[in-house]
Structure 1
Amino acid sequence: MKLPDKFEEKMQALLGDEFPEYLSCYDEPRYYGLRVNTNKISVEDFKKICPFEITPIPWIENGFYYDGDKVTPSRHPYYFAGLYYLQEPSAMTPANRLPVEPGDKVLDVCAAPGGKATELGAKLKGEGVLIANDISNSRAKGLLKNIEVFGIGNVLVLSEEPGKLEDYFAEYFDKILIDAPCSGEGMFRKDKKMVKAWEEHGPEFFANIQKSIITQAARMLKPGGMLLYSTCTFDGRENEGTIEYLLKKYPEFEILGIKGYEGFEKGMPELTASKSEEFAKTVRIFPHKMKGEGHYLALLRKGKPLPATDKKLLPGKKSKKKLPEDLEVFLEDTTWELDAARLDVHGERVYYMPEDLPDVCGIRFLRTGLLLGELKKKRFEPSQALAMCLKKDEYKKVLDFPVSDERVKRYLKGETLDVEDMTGSKEKGWYLVCVDGYPLGFGKLSGQTLKNKYLPGWRLC
């Protein structure tokens, strides 16, 4: 492919003798990857049931290569069950290297379409809160779908300027990930349209945006909290230069080492004004060094870690709120015990909110908490999001189809199903539809017929 002369000159200066090797990678095919959702299935169990050939990505514990020219994983029922996410291998690295723990308060600043947010949410294991934000409302809609498919309920999906979030979340987060908008030099092989975009808006344009985002995020991080900054570009102004800007403005930040891999290259102190060797702790990924596209990562901590605290909550007053009666009736078929104080009812819709949230009134959001469903006249209708958060053994009424059953794809297409062979004397009502034990959605049983309740916007075309 034809690369801009200005870009080639820069990369020649950056790589020196390695430049011909770098250029030759454009003659090689791109790499396709998938990442296992460890909140739904273990890596070992996924390998046992995976229907196509996969090869481990050596620096990502739950990542695998697949042959994108031979298979289409996005049309398999396991994809609809949220067992994996399709993602370019190098792009898996930022969320993998940010050490998120269950119970953390986590922010993904530029989260759409959800590749990194879904991994951060899976790491939380349903505890703490994930706030996934993208300034583009249209892109945030795709982000919401991917988060819900993954079964992440302890979430807020927002569409706001990072600067506005600062008014609500000052020093709130334990961990923050910024996969910053950038000039995309590392994606030229994967997406040739990025070359034209680079010619229109180059590194200097994006460096100014990145400086604004990273300093706003810095003020939302708790003392002792960690921030991971990443781009998919090579330019020093957008990478080491942005980190240097942050350190000058907020000297309480320090660069931390990142768990290594033989293909990782050190950051380049020579591209900074200070030439400090601390920038060598950051990581550069080059496509001629490993099987992935270009990326940059920097992990930072804000001041010293806070002293360990006892996370046990002091006994407080019992909430006087009660669960809506129709919701209580539905929950009799689940093993869930919900705290009524965390319910948020808007009209017919019932949401279950994460704990310990500030007042978010005034923020532009697509979802606050887990949408449990809707309170209709004398009945509760569970949501698609709730189905994806449930495990098979957490709901009493289940119809579990083997993946080979043709009714699985018919269900995903929204068709009504004849389930006479599976129902026997089963009572009517809401059933959790599963494939090989993994939920896909709800259906309503009447006699020997299952009325399809799979979300129309998610259906298999």
Structure 2
Amino acid sequence: MNLPEQYLENMKELLGTDFDAYIESFNDSRLYGLRVNTMKISVEDFLKISPFKLTPIPWIENGFYYSEDDKPAKHPYYFAGLYYIQEPSAMTPANVLPVEEGDIVFDMCAAPGGKSTELGAKLNGSGLLVTNDISNSRAKALLKNVEVFGIPNVYVVSEDPKNIQPGFNEFFDKILIDAPCSGEGMFRKDNKLIKSWEKTGPEFYAKIQRDIILTGADMLKPGGKMLYSTCTFSKLEDEETVRHLLINRPDMHLIDIKHYDGFSSGFTYDDELKNMHLEKTVRIFPHKMEGEGHFVALFEKKSDGETPFKGHGIIHKQKNTKLATELEDFLGKLNKDTVNFDIENAKDNIMIKDNYVYLCSPYMPGQKGLRIMRTGLLLGELKKNRFEPSQALAMVLKMSDYPDVINLPASDERVIKYLKGETLDLPEFDGKTGDGWNLFCVDGYPLGWGKFKNGSLKNKYLAGWRWQ
């Protein structure tokens, strides 16, 4: 691999006697990983049904290496949102940030959504997840991934973080900043990043990172925790960005991250960094661990000793939205005892805009002027005298949440036909399930909707998600 001379000089200075071992790691095979969606299935149950050759990732409880021969992106379980395909080291930031149920969480630079999907799984339908990417095109991929994962309590935003901050000052319990960076840690995985590095190297990204990390600190509640990560080795983007935060926001301090075999501590190459306890940060090097390069730093914001109520106790109700009879009828069919959102109080939190029906979070303040791509959970669309449930709603549900279900094993060829958008012949379900909207499932896990009648299912799987 033709690595830039300046980069090699930087790495020699950084690694010293470890430099040769690092260069040798470029001869190792690329590693592939998937992370189980624990909101839909336990790790134990997933391993019972997994058709792949999996090896645990030691520092990620729900992460696994898979063989290059396996194709998990071409399996129905992927479309059911049972797992996310992610480089093993990239699983670290969302794993380290200690998100608890009920937290108000912000993923600031989120696309394509690998970290947001794990944050949402940790919330398990509670609290609020605001996930953002400044790029509109990348935010569309983010939206799809969080919806595939079945996260109901999510707002997808596409804004410069500076535009978000004024309305969310000291608002979030937890913030994750996986900052845009020069990508040095991913050179082995994607050599196209080398040319990008030569055009826009660490100096370019460091300026962006320093603005972002200060903005994040301002949106964090006293007592809250914020994680900063990059996939680069540059001290300018890693330790120096941490230094910039700690100097300019003295109410922030580093806290410990649990170390695993192979984790390296951040560099403390002067007295100021030693006093700031930069040894509490973590570096992942590919010659020491089975993963690509990463840097992770976990901060806490000082508080006055009192634990603030999650979400500041704000409850935002919609303005007496009148629900159409067909919408109320559909919601009435859902099992209120098992569904992963509050059916009982749904009317207080439903917003209807341009005939689209959204279930909004009571913790999300109204934010005019922001480019919000998804306002909570899209339940569906009101059409003339009928309600059509959305793909996003199907992914939030469990098979037990809805009375009319068609469930096929992954081995049935009709599952792939469904994912391709084809009409299905299902004579064996005639008389066993109701006519009309049916939740189509694979091995008990929802994939989407269809309209069933006389042994035939008219496919309603979302066109943009179909099997290619």
Question: Which bracket does the TM-score occupy, shorter chain normalised?
Answer: over 0.9
Q: 1:426 to 1:18 in 2, by over 3 A?
A: closer
Residue of structure 2 in register with 1:6 after alignment: 6
Residue of structure 1 in register with 2:224 after alignment: 225
Q: Residue type matched to 2:156 in 1?
A: V
Q: What percentage of residue pairs aligned between the two structures are identical?
A: 57
Checking the alignment, whether the CA contact within 8 Å between 1:399 and 1:434 is kept in structure 2 is yes
SS of the counterpart of 2:13? helix
Deviation at 1:400, TM superposition (A): 0.6
Cα shift readout 1:34-82 (whole Å, capped 9, x = no counterpart): 00000000000000000111000000000000012x1111010000000
Is 2:398 the partner of 1:391?
yes
Residue of structure 2 in register with 1:39 after alignment: 39
Residue of structure 1 in register with 2:357 after alignment: 350
Q: Distance in 2 between matches of 1:72 and 1:316?
A: 44
Q: Distance in 1 between matches of 2:417 and 2:269?
A: 58
Q: Distance in 2 between matches of 1:92 and 1:255?
A: 20
Deviation at 1:339, TM superposition (A): 2.2
Residue of structure 1 in register with 2:339 after alignment: none
RMSD: 1.9
Is 2:55 the partner of 1:55?
yes
Deviation at 1:347, TM superposition (A): 1.5
Q: 1:76 to 1:243 in 2, by over 3 A?
A: same
Q: Distance in 2 between matches of 1:414 and 1:95?
A: 34
Residue of structure 2 in register with 1:22 after alignment: 22
TM-score normalised by length of structure 1: 0.96
Q: Distance in 2 between matches of 1:211 and 1:95?
A: 21
Residue of structure 2 in register with 1:340 after alignment: 347
Q: Distance in 1 between matches of 2:43 and 2:124?
A: 15
Q: Which ranges of structure 2 fall in alignment gaps of 5 or more residues?
A: 337-342
Q: Distance in 2 between matches of 1:447 and 1:245?
A: 66
SS of the counterpart of 2:232? coil
Q: Residue type matched to 2:335 in 1?
A: T
Q: Distance in 2 between matches of 1:95 and 1:364?
A: 25
SS of the counterpart of 2:167? coil
Q: Distance in 2 between matches of 1:356 and 1:275?
A: 39
Is 2:178 the partner of 1:179?
yes
Q: How does 1:407-446 map to 2 (within 5 A)?
A: 407-424=414-431, 426-446=433-453
Is 2:156 the partner of 1:157?
yes
Deviation at 1:128, TM superposition (A): 0.7
Q: 1:168 to 1:314 in 2, by over 3 A?
A: closer
Checking the alignment, whether the CA contact within 8 Å between 1:223 and 1:306 is kept in structure 2 is no
- Which moves more between the two structures, 425-434 or 130-139? 425-434
Q: How does 1:121-270 map to 2 (within 5 A)?
A: 121-270=120-269
Checking the alignment, whether the CA contact within 8 Å between 1:231 and 1:295 is kept in structure 2 is yes
Q: Residue type matched to 1:41 in 2?
A: I
Q: Distance in 1 between matches of 2:304 and 2:154?
A: 25
Q: Which ranges of structure 1 fall in alignment gaps of 5 or more residues?
A: none
Deviation at 1:317, TM superposition (A): 10
Deviation at 1:321, TM superposition (A): 4.4
Checking the alignment, whether the CA contact within 8 Å between 2:406 and 2:433 is kept in structure 1 is no
Q: Residue type matched to 1:266 in 2?
A: S
Deviation at 1:271, TM superposition (A): 6.4
Q: 1:305 to 1:49 in 2, by over 3 A?
A: farther
Q: Distance in 1 between matches of 2:49 and 2:432?
A: 31
SS of the counterpart of 1:451? strand
Checking the alignment, whether the CA contact within 8 Å between 1:443 and 1:450 is kept in structure 2 is yes
Cα shift readout 1:103-126 (whole Å, capped 9, x = no counterpart): 111000000000101000110000
Cα shift readout 1:101-158 (whole Å, capped 9, x = no counterpart): 1111100000000010100011000011111100000000000000000001111101
Q: Distance in 2 between matches of 1:19 and 1:418?
A: 61
Q: Distance in 1 between matches of 2:250 and 2:432?
A: 68
Checking the alignment, whether the CA contact within 8 Å between 2:421 and 2:466 is kept in structure 1 is yes
Q: Residue type matched to 1:327 in 2?
A: L
Q: Distance in 1 between matches of 2:437 and 2:271?
A: 60
Checking the alignment, whether the CA contact within 8 Å between 1:103 and 1:129 is kept in structure 2 is yes
Checking the alignment, whether the CA contact within 8 Å between 1:225 and 1:305 is kept in structure 2 is no
Q: Residue type matched to 1:351 in 2?
A: Y
SS of the counterpart of 1:110? coil
